[in-house]
Amino acid sequence: MQIHLIAAARPNFMKIAPLYHALKREDWAEPVIVHTGQHYDLNMSDAFFTDLKLPAPHIHLGVGSGSHAEQTGKVMIAYEKIIYEKQPDLVVVVGDVNSTLACTIAAIKVNYPIQNSKLKIQNCGRPVVAHLEAGLRSFDRTMPEEINRIATDALADFLWTPSPDGDANLVKEGVDKGKIERVGNIMIDSLEMMRDTIEDENTHLEFGLNKNEFGVVTFHRPANVDNVEILSSLCTSLISISKMIPLVFPVHPRTRKNLEEYDLMPNLAECGSIILTEPLNYIRFMSLVFNCRLAITDSGGIQEETTYLGIPCLTMRPNTERPVTVTEGTNRLCSHTEIESMALDSLKIDRIQRTPPDLWDGQTAHRIVESLKHFRSRQ
């Protein structure tokens, strides 16, 4: 069975890596890595694939950057040609980027005879489509990712969810319960797969920092970094927080551009307790997270990783598509006006000893393989 694993950028590769390895161990599965090339990632180096124990992508679409419509259209056009040429039995899309939706639409709309496949949908001359990380909702349709999530879940045949809220969201949207299966959080599989390498890295020592005595900062969302007033307020807050605890701030290219344009970079650079770095690869960044006291972010993934590790996390967003990190984890949402006071409160708390959310255990890829075996046995 030929299985296409779709990836568009570094976080996608983190999600497909555990599944690739789990499928590679099965004699009935032929996993194929498809890199759409939607994002150019400076840290997408040979070492990255070596760390993940992944081969180079088997198929590279090379679509490049562009507007949402341009990216989606380019991926659909390029991947449709691949589908007809390779005729995969299963297409697995992950996350919520433009490529997730584009490859879903391309796969759903083709029509060709699938020879000897044991993974067929009735009256369906096309590959089966599965969405990994299905059901996540921020309920904020101004986010392009939210549109991608909703549309992908409406079209896909299998919906593999990470948490109970994902199941509930899909049911509320009228999705057939038979399509929904909770398999857990695939990013925890990646973290556990690479734990030994991460723990050996000790990135914090390069910056002269002690374990549990510094914070990690990341910001990249347009709502936070494109508005000069919000970004200026954020910088002021970070300088104040750094007087309580040193901060390491790997600066996203979009964030750096705006910091320089708004003349905010000098104040941060002159602050001796804020360490500004270039973006870090996964191993080095997660080494910082493993050893930090506090994370301040607007990222989606860090909310999950800090919840799993029991590290206080402040997420500067009005909503999150991962509410389980708030209800069961260590994450708290905040605005740019609240971040300083909430950081002070968080520093009064050390690592939080909690049981991770159900099925966040490093076995998600195994459950997906078992799900596919069960489906094949019914055909």
Half-sphere exposure (CA, 13 Å, Cβ side) for 79? Answer: 35
CA 41 to CA 48: how far, in whole Å? Answer: 11
| Location of structure tokens 């007809």 | 84
Classify the phi-psi angles of 118: left when phi > 0, otherwise alpha if psi is within -120 to 50, otherwise beta.
alpha
From the centroid of its chain, how far is CA 4? 18
Q: Which residue has the tokens 């009735």?
A: 122
Q: Helices 364-377 and 10-24, interaxial angle, to 10°?
A: 50
If you ran DSSP here, which 8-state letter would residue 251 be given?
P
Q: Cβ-count burial of 317 within 10 angstroms (0-12 exposed, 13-18 middle, 19+ buried)?
A: buried
Cβ pair 275, 246 in contact under 8 A: yes
Cα distances from 49 to residues 53, 151, 336, in angstroms, run 6, 30, 36
One-letter amino acid at 65 equals S
Asked if 204 and 214 touch (Cβ cutoff 8 Å), the reply is: yes
Exposed/middle/buried for residue 50 (C-beta within 10 Å: 0-12, 13-18, 19+): exposed
The β-bridge relationship of strands 59-60 and 30-35 is: parallel
Query: Catalytic annotation on 220?
Result: yes
Q: Which of 21, 58, 220, 366 is an active site residue?
A: 220
**Distance, CA of 255 to CA of 223 (rounded, Å):** 11
Taking residue 287's Cβ as centre, other Cβ atoms within 10 Å add up to 22
CB-CB contact of 113 with 139 (8 Å):
no
10 Å Cβ neighbour count for 269? 11
Q: How far is Cα 99 from Cα 322, in angstroms, rounded to an integer?
A: 21
Which residues carry out catalysis? 220
